[in-house]
A and B are shown apart, each in its own frame.
Chain A
Amino acid sequence: MKIKAVTAIAAVLLSTSVFADEDAELVVNGEIEMVTKTAAPAHLSDALDEVLSGWRFRSDETQLMQMDDFDNPGMVAVDAAAEAWDAVEGSEGKSCASCHGDVADSMVGVRAVYPKWNDAAEEVRTLAMQINDCRENKMGAEKYGYTSGDMAAMEALISVQSRGMPVNVAIDGPVQATWEAGKDLYYTRTGQLDLSCASCHEQNYGNMIRADHLSQGQINGFPVYRLKNAKLNTAHARFKGCVRDTRAETFKPGSAEFIALELYVASRGNGLSVEAPSVRN
Chain B
Amino acid sequence: MRLTSLTVAAGLALASASFAETVAPGDVVFDEYGAVEASLTGVAGDPANGRSVIVSKKRGNCIACHSAEAWADELFHGEVGPTLDGVGGYRSAAELRGILVNSKKTFEGTVMPAYYKVDGFNRPGDAYTGKAAKELSPLLTAQEIEDVVAFLASLQD
Binding site for B on A (CB under 8 A): 188-195, 199-200, 203-204, 207-211, 214, 240, 243-250
Contact = CB atoms under 8 A, between A and B. Distances in A.
B141 to A, nearest CB: 15
16 contacts: A192-B136, A194-B113, A204-B80, A207-B78, A208-B76, A208-B77, A208-B78, A210-B61, A210-B64, A210-B77, A244-B129, A246-B125, A247-B124, A248-B124, A248-B130, A249-B133
A211 B123 contact: no
Interface string B60-86: 010111000000000111111000000
B120 to A, nearest CB: 9
Nearest to A195: B111
Q: Is the interface of A mostly helix, strand, loop or mixed?
A: loop
Nearest to A207: B79
B122 interface: yes
A222 B57 CA distance: 29
Interface of B: 57, 61, 63-65, 75-80, 111, 113-114, 121-133, 136, 139
A243 B78 CA distance: 20
Given A190-B123, A191-B123, A208-B79, A245 B114 contact: no
B123 A209 contact: no
A198 B23 CA distance: 33
A199 B110 CA distance: 9
A177 to B, nearest CB: 21
Given A209-B65, A249-B133, A204 B111 contact: yes
Contact of A211 (B75, B121, B126): B75
A247 B80 contact: no
A248 B125 contact: yes
Nearest to B114: A194
Nearest to B132: A249
A194 B114 CA distance: 8
A210 B133 contact: no
